Amino acid sequence: MAFSIKKLSKSDTDFTTELEKMLAWESVSDGNMQKLVADVIADIRLNGDKALLKYSEKFDRFSVSSGNELVLGAEAIKAAFNRLPEEQQAALRVSAQRVTAYHEKQLAKSWRYTDETGVVLGQQVTAMDKVGIYVPGGVAPLASSVIMNAMPAKVAGVQEVVMATPAPDGKVSDFTLGAAYVVGIDKVFLIGGAQAIAALAFGTETVPAVDKIVGPGNAFVATAKQQVFGKVGIDMIAGPSEILVVCDGQTHPDWIAMDLFSQAEHSHDAQSILISQDAQFLDQVLASIEKLLPTMERKETIEQSLNDRGLLIHVDQLEEAKELINIIAPEHLELSIEDPESWLQDIRHAGAIFMGRHTSEPLGDYCAGPNHVLPTSGTARFFSPLGVYDFQKRSSIIGASALAASELGKVVSVLARGEELTAHARSAEMRIIKP
């Protein structure tokens, strides 16, 4: 494959049109996939474990005779952790500790007050009972995904956290299971794909139905999450990974090239974008890309990603990048500039912001502390990173005294009768104190 990455200049007359073309990402779920996934979900709902066993054999070449053989309990999870090298054990613990410390800051607390009418008002915050996390098992052992999805739920106080991960040929990575041990996963189910999402949503003889499903996955997993939403909560429908780097030309071009690679190696559909006011620097980064690409283990994936969706954007003034950041609303934003702090007030849409030349995106992926489950494909305009708040619920509290109920009941009477809801009105009117 001949390497080529698209270059754009903000001064070009067709810049906006070309940028929109490059950013466009259509749902990978077509009508045929929707039907296939719907059939799998219906089968799991009707046949439970029997259907799970069938799909495990069909898609993962994992043949077992009962649902119990698809479950790993605490002892097996701990044994996997014990098999890891000490270096990996230590790294998993550091990551989990840092992610825990960060997410503890997000805990919402219950509150209440009494207003001037004597009504007690408040909010009661409680955790969900049961959460399922999905961890892909195909391309790489995503131990970091286990930590990022499970720790916020644990910090929130979720009573039971279970995990589903596929086991191709009956095998699952000790690294992934080791992460499950560190974060305190209660059970691991060796199931993948749409069938895993369906099992977690509706339950089978072996798999418990959960309240929320979180975690990344392929197109079948994403489609299944869409279809079970409403029966359970879901985190988000994530698209391909993406990074936007803004650089003033003063960072080593090799660093920037590798930062772009860090997302491009995820998949052919991943997107890596660099913006700079220094045209010569853009050329230097391109030279670094061409120099470093042959050394990469995932060379073909990176190359296709950069060919298909990579972008080098030249702006006349670096300040122009602020507007583009808010248009693109990137999953990961690296501000590789002299004073990144001064830019924050102007950035409205970004999943995670990495400030300064030394703050590479992988720090956030693994151990800085903030969550790496982030909104993609421009959804940072209305979505936030996964956090403790995704596993907490809020109940409103209202408590009226006899006098308050009487006074507010007069207001209710007028409003409810205005809406022609007379039962509402009469319910409140019955509590109005007569002179």
Tokens of residue 126, six digits: 């409680």
213, 201 contact by CB (below 8 A) = yes
Q: Is 241 annotated as belonging to a binding site?
A: yes
How many other β-carbons are positioned within 10 Å of the β-carbon of residue 423? 8
Q: Is 343 helix (H, G, I), strand (E, B) or coil?
A: helix
Q: Is 89 annotated as belonging to a binding site?
A: no
Q: Is 116 annotated as belonging to a binding site?
A: no
Active site residue 331: yes
Q: What is the dihedral of CA 319, 322, 327, 329, to 10 degrees?
A: 150
Instruction: Give the C-alpha separation, 335 to 316, whole Å.
Output: 17
Q: Is 26 annotated as belonging to a binding site?
A: no
Q: Is 43 annotated as belonging to a binding site?
A: no
Catalytic one of 103, 314, 332, 372: 332
201, 210 contact by CB (below 8 A) = yes
197, 221 contact by CB (below 8 A) = yes
144, 373 contact by CB (below 8 A) = no
Nearest Cα neighbor of 394 from 151, 169, 109, 30 is 109
Tell me which residue has tokens 């230590």: 90
Give DSSP secondary structure letters for 283-296: HHHHHHHHHHGGG-
Q: Is 419 annotated as belonging to a binding site?
A: yes
Q: Is 97 annotated as belonging to a binding site?
A: no
Q: Is 358 annotated as belonging to a binding site?
A: no
Q: Is 113 annotated as belonging to a binding site?
A: no
For residue 131, the cross-strand partners are: 161, 212
Catalytic one of 242, 265, 303, 331: 331
For residue 9, the cross-strand partners are: 314
Q: Is 106 helix (H, G, I), strand (E, B) or coil?
A: coil
Torsion 200-263-359-353 (CA) sign? negative
Q: List all residues 6 or more positions away from 342 whose beta carbon is below 8 Å from its beta carbon.
A: none
Instruction: Give the C-alpha separation, 274 to 253, whole Å.
Output: 11
Q: Is 365 annotated as belonging to a binding site?
A: yes
Binding site, by residue number, is 134, 195, 218, 241, 263, 266, 332, 365, 419, 424
Which residues are known catalytic residues? 331-332
Binding site for Zn(2+), by residue number, is 263, 266, 365, 424
Binding site for NAD(+), by residue number, is 134, 195, 218
Binding site for substrate, by residue number, is 241, 263, 266, 332, 365, 419, 424
